[in-house]
Chain A
Amino acid sequence: EPEVTQTPSHQVTQMGQEVILRCVPISNHLYFYWYRQILGQKVEFLVSFYNNEISEKSEIFDDQFSVERPDGSNFTLKIRSTKLEDSAMYFCASSEDGANTGELFFGEGSRLTVL
């Protein structure tokens, strides 16, 4: 069964460092998303991406965050200068249709720990 894959599964970084989280969505999907979940809290939407551009982003997705689909298969989330409060599990998801019409497929998550 097709799946969304994420790397790394766990990354530890120092505050102020840049981090890139990688995702390989399901190949025929057109919509891509990043979500985060701070430990013990609910999942939060970060950004959606369609047709090589951001279609929607939340208040959390400020200038330190960026997304890119560099090669037609990978979908990356970059955090430019990490803060302690960026420590969370980051989930990538993809769907054939938008989240208001299509089933979402999630990756296993990338746990980011900022020290």
Chain B
Amino acid sequence: KNEVEQSPQNLTAQEGEFITINCSYSVGISALHWLQQHPGGGIVSLFMLSSGKKKHGRLIATINIQEKHSSLHITASHPRDSAVYICAISGAGSYQLTFGKGTKLSVIP
């Protein structure tokens, strides 16, 4: 069974800081998703990765398949980035996503 561990669980940052959230998993995967859950509960997909690196605006996601590790970076953080960031993985040949517990980010003005 694949386990997903995220760190840190909680993160408070000053506006403008560079933020890194980490995700580790225990067995091979076919894809890794980074999701954002708003305070109201809605979930938005940020990235889907199977290798390398992706960038969208101030967000960057990387994955190292050999080390079974992914990171989500936020540059020039802003209070509107405050949310829970969730890492989720799908195994080879599976539609099932296994979710991490999430990292709660608070960005203070």
Interface residues of A (CB under 8 A from B): 31, 33, 35, 37, 41-45, 48, 50, 55-56, 58, 89, 91, 93, 98-109, 111
**Interface pair B102/A45, CB less than 8 Å apart:** no
- How far, in whole Å, are A100 and B97 apart by their CA atoms in the complex? 8
**Interface pair A99/B97, CB less than 8 Å apart:** yes
B43 — which chain A residues lie within 8 A by C-beta?
43, 91, 93, 106, 109
Q: How many residues of B contact A (CB 8 A)?
A: 27
- How far, in whole Å, are A104 and B32 apart by their CA atoms in the complex? 11
| Known A-B contacts A42-B101, A99-B90; A104 and B45 likewise in contact (beta carbons under 8 Å) | yes
> Could you tell me which residues of chain B, from 79 to 103, have a CB within 8 Å of some CB in chain A?
86, 88, 90-102
B35 smallest CB distance to A (angstroms): 8
- Tell me whether B10 is interfacial, beta carbon within 8 Å: no
B33 — which chain A residues lie within 8 A by C-beta?
99, 103-104
**Interface pair B101/A100, CB less than 8 Å apart:** no
8 contacts between A and B (CB under 8 A): A43-B43, A56-B94, A99-B33, A100-B31, A100-B91, A104-B48, A106-B35, A106-B42
